[in-house]
Amino acid sequence: MSASLRVVLCDDSGIFRDGLQLLLERAGVDVAASVSDVAALHAAVAEQLPDVAVVDVRMPPTHTDEGIRAAVSLRRSFPQVGVLVLSTYVDAAWALALLDAVPDSVGYLLKDRVDDVAGLLAALERVARGGVALDAEVVASLVATRRHTEPLEQLTERERAVLAAMAQGLSNSGIAQTLFVSVKTVETHVAAVFRTLGLQESSTDNRRVKAALVYLGAQSDPRLARAFLGPDPRRE
């Protein structure tokens, strides 16, 4: 882990916030500020310009989605600052809304993951480097209620496994380790996934994030997949 990693914490629970700060500082992370509401969060990020802001989903005053909206606002106001959202509950809709609005330097993890220090630090590093860190349990909850939609049905079993791993934010080397295959094999499957989903290479779009959104969206709402992929040319 980079010794220069700096974060700002925002959670209305003082006990959780203090515990998380202690855990991170023991792991060598510089906690530049620890605040309890969205207004203080924006002020702290503006002053400290951390690598990552760690934000709870449910914040005052309504304790609904203030953290999600704050994450989107922060990424737009401070594009150099990553945002890691922590949630008590598995809520795929919030994760999808976040990734739809913010395609990079963002993460969504469950709060009970914080006791896995190595995993938490890996997520922070990934977000700080511009990547996406998505909780595996969120993905699993969607897979459990899978709705088959084209063109996802055209993927092979191994290609679907690669796409599911991409949806968790894993790199090609991380996927290779998880599936016990070579990186070159993963690259071949990733290219096949992009072709099947019709995701063309672009200097302005992140195809990995789009592929993940298509996959996750298809689990909960096939319309989201169609929004990204467009109409099926075979049905025109």
Farthest CA pair distance, the chain: 59
Domains 6-135 and 145-235 share a fold: no
CA quadruple 19, 21, 24, 28: dihedral positive or negative? Answer: negative
Give the CATH number of domain 145-235; options: 2.60.120.20, 3.40.120.10, 1.10.10.10, 3.30.460.10: 1.10.10.10
Residue 89: count of CB within 10 angstroms of its CB: 10
- HEC sequence for 103-166: CCCEEEEEHHHHHCHHHHHHHHHHHHCCCEEECHHHHHHHHCCCCCCCCHHHCCHHHHHHHHHH
Mean pLDDT of all residues belonging to the chain: 82
Which pLDDT value is given to residue 181? Answer: 92
Distance CA 203, CA 157 (A): 29
Element (H, E) at 33: strand 30-35
* Three-state DSSP state, 31: strand
The domain ranges of the chain are 6-135, 145-235
**Which candidate, 86, 21, 34, 56, places its Cα nearest to that of 43?**
34
Superfamily of segment(s) 6-135: Response regulator (3.40.50.2300)
pLDDT tens figures, 100-124 = 788 789 988 999 888 889 989 999 9
7-21, 28-42, 127-141, 170-184: which range is least confident on average? 127-141
Distance CA 65, CA 76 (A): 17
pTM beyond 0.95: the answer is no
Of the pLDDT bands very low, low, confident and very high (cuts 50, 70, 90), residue 205 is low
